Amino acid sequence: MTNDDPHAVTGDLARLRDWWAERRGDRERSIAWIHDLENEDEARNAVNRAIDSGATLIALHIDGDDSASRATIAFVANVPTTDVVEQQPGTSDHAWMEAVAEIRDLLEPYRVVPPDDSSVDSAAHAFPAPGVPAPNLPAPRVHSAQAAITSAAQRETAIIFDGLIAHAGAALVSTNDSRAREWMLPATSSTDPAIRAAQSFLDIEPATHFGTNGDDATSLRAVLSLLDVVDPA
């Protein structure tokens, strides 16, 4: 049977509509932006204040691109460090190898067998031990994202997130609280290999498939605008 309603939504819009409908209940949509978090306490307080003030949907975005976020995703998703660093056009092989080596060095204390040398091959094949807890890397903004997502889930409040740091935080959340997956949603697909690895590990289809590679919250804003289409006030 076909749906001849010209106003019917399909694809990403239909999934976004259904995802939100299942989590909003009979509550009105009230969005709170959470961004620029510096530590876990700040994140928890920001989320709890927003929910106490009536927010029913959290939009999380933390600007930035750092090796600690990529290292966290590589470890949690159990992928080679070469798989979380893109060699951008114009980037020399040497510069790319240095970026990979920096991530490998962050993870070296947590690897089963330390790399024998500084080659990309060593970096790519030094996997973490199964069952080893996620490393407590010096990544305060990743942990702040983790705290924000955890706090929203504990309050049974939906949270849509975007950006590398938020994806690293979400990956950490999923290792500690599988129930939190019910409340979180990546805003969009990405060409960033680390974000792709995180989304594959989370096994949560993103709200949209824009395939972006930016870190300016544009995709997150677009998803929130799409909510106005599928859930008009």
Could you give all domains of the chain from N- to C-terminal order, each with its CATH number?
Answer: 11-65+140-214 (3.40.50.10210)
CB 167 within 8 A of CB 184: no
Question: Token pair of 197, please?
Answer: 């690895």
At residue 114, does pLDDT exceed 70?
no
According to the model, what pLDDT value does residue 71 have? 94
User: Which band of pLDDT confidence, cut at 50, 70 and 90, is reported for residue 137?
Assistant: confident
Question: Token pair of 142, please?
Answer: 């990743």
User: Which band of pLDDT confidence, cut at 50, 70 and 90, is reported for residue 216?
Assistant: confident
* Of residues 174, 214, 179, the one with CA closest to residue 77: 174
According to the model, what pLDDT value does residue 5 have? 58
User: Average pLDDT, whole number, for the chain?
Assistant: 87
* Of residues 231, 177, 216, the one with CA closest to residue 18: 231
- Read off the pTM: 0.88
Q: What is the signed CA dihedral for 38, 40, 45, 46, rounded to 10 degrees?
A: 50
CA-based diameter of the chain, in Å?
A: 63
As a whole number of angstroms, the distance between CA 110 and CA 127 comes to 9
According to the model, what pLDDT value does residue 124 have? 43
Question: Token pair of 17, please?
Answer: 């509509």
Question: Token pair of 196, please?
Answer: 């792709």
